[in-house]
Each structure stands twice: as structure tokens, then as C-alpha cells.
Amino acid sequence: MSDHEEVLARIRQGAFYTESEASFQNGQRRADLVFEYNRTPPGEAGRRRELLEAILGSVGARTVLLPPFHAGFGSNVHIGDDFFGNVNLTFVDDVEIRIGHGVMIAPSVTLTTTGHPIHPGLREDFRRFSEPIVIEDKVWIGSNVVVLPGVRIGYGAVIGAGSVVSRDIPAMTVAVGVPCRVARPITDEDLKARTFPAA
């Protein structure tokens, strides 16, 4: 096994690795294209689409991603159809972020696949670990939410504004808080309401 393969194996296992060890992946970063996307005039929808297809690992139909957005790589992000991402969406995509169909994300949300050791003695050379994030279909994520490494958010879930999501969220639930916890299920009663009844 080559050194690169050994590092990739550790990354896939969620084990620690350093910036120097992972530097061979830097060619997959799309920083210049992200910069160009964020400076593209609103009327140039075709150019924005062309850039998104070059930046992201995959992108579905009818995708709206309002600039500015930020990505460590971009190439590790996969977005389904009918996606809406509001301004200041940040992808810390050292490993894959998979977003399903019909997902809506409000302003200033961070999806981070990467964390760092607690003990400062382990943080030299930006040592870190990475675990993929999965956001299933029809999820709505409120403003200023942070989704942490390894989290899966289930179908149709709603994440309340300002939440820090550190564990999986079941399908068809409303979840809020720091740390984010399930407040209640989503039911047919919600078809009648504009706002959420008290939990």
C-alpha cells in the first residue's frame, strides 16, 4: 500500500491525519472556481450553472445556490435536484457531503465533515479527522445551523435556526437546540399550520 493509499484509508476510517499527509489531495480543491462563482453577476444563470458543475462532485437539476458560498474542496459535495442554498453556505468537505432532493438551507449554515483533537498536543500540522455528512431528501435547515462530522439528517426533518447538530436526526422530526435534539414529530397537523405549534 502506498503512502497516499494509507492516508486515504485512515481518512475513510475517521482516524487522525495531518495537513502534510493529505496535501496530495490539494489538486481536487476548487478555490479559484468558487471565487469566480461568487463574483458572477445574478443575470448570468448559465455561467453559474457551468461553474457549479465544474466545482461540485455532482449537482442536480433546478439547483439554486446563492453566492457567496464557501467550500474547502467543492469536489466532495454532491447535491440532488430542486436544492435551494441561501447565502453564506459553507461546506467543509474534506470528505463527502451528500445532499438529497428538495433540500432547503437558510443563510449562514456550516456543514463540516472535519474536527480536531481535543488535546493541543495532538493538533500539530492541523491534525484532524473527517466523517461524511448525509442530508436526506426534503430536509429544511434553518439559519446559522452547524452540522458536525458524521451526521445524517433524515427525510423531511426540520432543523431549527441556530442549532448545532452533533448526532443523527430521525426522519420527519423537528429538532432544535445546542446540542440539537428532537422536539417533536412532524404530523399531518402541520399541513394546516404556517408556524409550528408548541412542542
Looking at the chain, the whole-number percentage of residues with pLDDT higher than 70 is 97
In the prediction, which pLDDT does 27 show? Answer: 86
Q: State how far the Cα of 171 lies from the Cα of 179, in Å rounded to an integer.
A: 18
158 assigned to some structural domain: yes
Per-residue model confidence as pLDDT tens digits over 139-150: 999 999 999 999
Name the CA dihedral angle for 69, 71, 154, 14, rounded to a multiple of 10 degrees: -160
Q: State how far the Cα of 175 lies from the Cα of 188, in Å rounded to an integer.
A: 17
Residues of the chain whose pLDDT is less than 50?
199
pTM (two decimals): 0.93
199 assigned to some structural domain: no
Q: State which residues form the domain around 108.
A: 3-192
In the prediction, which pLDDT does 199 show? Answer: 47
> Any catalytic annotation for residue 116?
yes
197 assigned to some structural domain: no
Domains contained in the chain, number: 1
Active-site position among 78, 101, 116, 119: 116
Per-residue model confidence as pLDDT tens digits over 59-99: 999 999 999 999 999 999 999 999 999 999 999 999 999 99
